[in-house]
Structure 1
């Protein structure tokens, strides 16, 4: 787009060039996708309301650690309290048993969120969540994953790798509980408390400090942004490929959608969409997840790669 604008801007208005590009499939299907941008914060007011879970892949070090290939990490969004269970594999049966060990410690969430890993969707795991009356949710965008547990994973691995450097060995399993205990009993910079010290009675302090942290982040953002798109605009949605996906591959959906609502949430523009048959897509989309299609949709023929029962969040 920049090259065309630079070459023709003296002869053709910039807006006309952009409108022409937005009418070309070759452009709207393959234009780059922005993966990092401001997103909405959690709004949670007590402990054990929302947990996040993820797997840490440590297959590379299994020979040093009694055949352990993965760590199941789980974190409470408010208290930042973490649980970690070692796994020899990520079968539904193994992951289910690990969650059972965590729940046996006396805590469970109202809602548990993960990425779309098959291990969390296994029938044994889903059955356990239903038995415990836990609502399960996956994040729609695999580039984002579950941000809070991902941050904990990084902290845990920093502790482990410092130990690796000091001990000149990759064996960690005998110290795993100590690493987690150290984290849970160290003052967390966001809540300004030790995760292990947060209870139902004092959770409001952690919540207040989280809100202050969000306010500081929001102040760093620019003034509320103007809406880039408007109701009735036609758009494609990003295909959310992996972070290391090839840039030349198709980045945007073949299917085209229509914007039906534009709403500001936490000073960020968000959009709700429907498909061309009028079926509303669950959830909301950031402007970075949409790209404008500027053409006569009624005369456009295109292929829909596959039809999913649920395409939203």
Structure 2
């Protein structure tokens, strides 16, 4: 009975929802871009059927691109992405997106292959944070313009608004995104993206047995178990900032993604409670 009680205490242990995430680490101009799709569906009728806005941003320089699109089909999004890449001489080595079908399809894959871009996504209920921050900034500017013009017509103004953003000083890099070049990227790297000095704290070691936090949504019941009934084994410790852990299940099969310390804890209780669902249905992959 005592063993079962210990197990129940572990499963219902409080789980933090807000904690420092792994930082996006880039070393130069156009090393990694992020892309996202902004929904503008409610205003499609007064905007010629345009329902979406494809947004891209270079993580290092914060330079952004935007293209209005009428649908989120793979073909339309691929064409929009191609128009961004063909406008100038800038092409990223990597493109980070969410795992939406608008990015994972044969048409978009063909564009990635044509330009030699590596498309990837992180296994998380969080998305590409930097482009989403840009989306909020752009929408704030856009809605101010809506108030000025007395309507919500946006395809004809979004290019100018994006250009204004690129020419405005950005707090993170200390200059306007349009002014970042290969000549000054080393100076920016030294002042804004210098590596933090200090030892990296490692909570777990290889072989430790851990449980994983379930990714609950806002309105899910707080009294349901917060942690997986399954116990996983740490198979690798990644020296990232903050430290992340790669896990494997009891069959020694690797688990997709990597996990932050706040999403795991070392288990002391053995065994598991009866359940009707497999673990794949009750928890999400790691956060990289």
Tell me what 2:122 maps to: 139
Work out which of the residue numbers 232, 235, 253 in structure 2 matches 1:257: 232
**Could you tell me how far apart the structure 2 residues matched to 1:119 and 1:35 are?**
28
* 2:79 matches 1:97: yes
SS in 2 for 1:136: strand
Which of 111, 115, 122 is equivalent to 1:128?
111
Counterparts of 1:55 and 1:152 in 2: how far apart (Å)? 12
* Mapping of residues 1-313 of structure 1, within 5 Å: 23-24=7-8, 28=11, 33-106=15-88, 107-143=90-126, 145-211=127-193, 227=203, 229-240=204-215, 243-248=217-222, 252-253=227-228, 255-262=230-237, 265-266=240-241, 268-297=242-271, 304-306=278-280
d(CA) in 1 for partners of 2:40, 2:6 = 44
Report the CA distance shift for 1:35/1:168 in structure 2 as closer, same or farther (over 3 A): farther
User: Normalising by the residue count of structure 1, what TM-score does the alignment of the two structures yield?
Assistant: 0.77
Gaps of 5+ in 1: 1-16
Report which stretch shifted further, 149-158 or 117-126: 117-126
Structure 1 or 2: more helix by fraction: 1
Hey, what's the Cα distance between the residues in 1 that align with 2:5 and 2:91?
A: 51
Q: 2:63·2:166 contact (CA, 8 Å) conserved in 1? A: yes
Residues 96-133 of structure 1, C-alpha deviations (whole Å, 9 max, x = no match): 01011011013211000011212111221122212221
CA distance in structure 1 between the partners assigned to 2:92 and 2:5 by the alignment: 48
Change (3 A) 1:203 1:89: same
Structure 1's 162 and 39: CA in aligned 2 closer, same or farther, altered over 3 A? same
Normalising by the residue count of structure 2, what TM-score does the alignment of the two structures yield?
Answer: 0.83
- CA 1:282 to 1:98, structure 2 compared with 1: closer, same or farther past 3 Å? same
CA RMSD of aligned residues (A): 3.1
Tell whether the 8 Å contact from 2:28 to 2:185 is kept in structure 1 after alignment.
yes
Asked if structure 2 preserves the Cα contact closer than 8 Å seen for 1:192 and 1:209, the reply is no
Q: Work out the CA distance in 1 between the residues paired with 2:225 and 2:209.
A: 18
Q: Spell out, residue by residue over 1:189-228, the C-alpha distance to the aligned partner (whole angstroms, 9 max, x if none).
A: 111111111122222233233226x86xx99xxx97672x
Q: Is the 1:141–1:240 contact (alpha carbons within 8 Å) kept by the matching residues of 2?
A: no
